[in-house]
Amino acid sequence: MSAECSSYLNADKVLVSGFSCPRTGGDVRAVYCCGFQDVKYCCDDPHSFFPYEHSYMWWLSVGALVGLSIAAVVLFAFIITVCVLCYLFISTKPRSKLDTGLSFQMA
């Protein structure tokens, strides 16, 4: 099985001549023509869009999830702390005026 990649203009507006897949000296499993209008390459997956491995994106996603999780825990702890402090402030506030020990009787 083989595929033909037609000629195209790359991002620098240079004409790249057409070629057939798999390329000589390349991966024999790359039998499909993949890519966009300005970059074409041979690949082994007909639904591939990029000519490079993108497994690093999973590490970025894991790092982002870890960072967001830590931020969520810190925010949650802050909110709980504020709620506890507000409750303690309200519950320890005296309900009536303090007794000064002086009476207000007319002599």
Is residue 107 included in any domain, yes or no?
no
* Summary mean pLDDT of the chain: 81
**Overall average pLDDT of the 76-104 stretch:** 82
Q: What integer pLDDT is reported at residue 73 of this predicted model? A: 97
The per-residue pLDDT for 65 is 84
Report if residue 101 sits inside a domain: no
Number of domain units in the chain: 2
DSSP, res 24: T
Mean per-residue pLDDT, 61-84:
92
Task: Give the residue from 101, 70, 53 showing the smallest Cα distance to 44.
Answer: 53
Q: What is the pLDDT of residues 19-55, one digit of tens each?
A: 998 888 888 888 888 888 888 888 887 776 555 555 5
pTM greater than 0.95: no
Q: Are residues 39 and 57 in the same domain?
A: no
pLDDT of res. 96: 65
In a domain, 8, yes or no: yes
Domain that holds residue 57: 53-92
Same domain for 32 and 10? yes
Is 88 domain-assigned?
A: yes
pLDDT above 90 coverage of the chain, percent: 28
CA dist., res. 7 & res. 15, Å (int): 7
Cis peptide preceding 22, ω within 30 of 0: yes
